Amino acid sequence: MRQILFLLILFTLTACQQETSTETTEPGTDALDATVEVAESTEVVVEPAFSLADSLAGRSEADRARDAGRKPAAVIEFLGIEPGMTVLDLFAASGWYTEVLSHAVGADGTVYAQNPGFMLSMRDGANDKAMAARLAASTLGNIQRIDREITDLGLTAESLDAALMALNFHDVYNSAGAEAAGGLLNAVYDALKPGGVLGLIDHVGIAENDNAALHRIEKSKVLEVVQLTSFSVESESTLLSNLADDHSSGVFGPDIRGQTDRFLLRLKK
């Protein structure tokens, strides 16, 4: 009797399992029949952050040889010059800083390389030739030459984001005096947008020396000229300081050339 009862229970369970396994449901009414949709993956392209140091690494070996003494990426960061800006390189000479600025503002920016007549004609036109060669080799195409005097730049008022004058302010001051140097700053001031910045870099001179002969200038003299203008000194940096320079040698001397003690000022409109 027990065997018959056991067989009946086994038969019933088997039938239920078969019924469950063969049961069908309407599409969309049961999770077992639902279609699992896999969304197409959308690839997100993240542009790498701009690195001025990496960009500057692509310059010529001759240009890069001066980087240790001039620290271009750090100077540009201190001045706040960024991609897309319109900037002016004053007394650009052969264009070393012009090239740095070109990389700093990128293809969407503009660099005006200004040279007065005397800089283009000196040393049998060496600066003129060097600038022409630099522009011909430029890969960014964002440099425009301005072969004009500082008082006649030909730029629209308040069109510049920033300007840089590196290692030449002393020439104007020492040869033409404070008034002429102030006129130079005023011309740049007019061309800068409100909030625009002018960077000044020059060789440090000390009072007891003949700075005109050494191609140097006292920082205090520069600050006196700035006070004659509407510029304010926003900040200054010791990035280019060199305590090994005793300020007694001419800046072109083989023992100090490229390694002079320099001040770096950030003037703001």
Is a pLDDT exceeding 60 seen at residue 3?
A: no
Is a pLDDT exceeding 50 seen at residue 101?
A: yes
With 0-12 / 13-18 / 19 or more C-beta atoms within 10 angstroms meaning exposed / middle / buried, residue 131 is buried
Q: Determine phi and psi for 265, rounding to 5 degrees.
A: -115, 145
What CA–CA distance (Å, rounded) separates 153 from 173? Answer: 19
Rg (CA), the chain: 35
Q: Is the dihedral of CA 90, 94, 100, 104 positive or negative?
A: positive
Q: How far is CA 207 from the centre of its chain?
A: 34
Q: What is the dihedral of CA 101, 156, 120, 113, to 10 degrees?
A: 10
Is a pLDDT exceeding 90 seen at residue 237?
A: yes
SS3 assignment, position 137: helix
Name the token pair of 154.
């030909």
pLDDT in tens, 16-51: 444 444 444 445 445 444 444 545 556 766 666 789
Domains and CATH numbers, the chain: 52-268 (3.40.50.150)
pLDDT for the residue 226: 98
With cut-offs at 50, 70 and 90, classify the pLDDT of residue 151: confident
Helices (H), the chain: 2-22, 52-56, 61-64, 67-70, 72-79, 96-105, 117-137, 169-176, 178-191, 211-214, 219-226
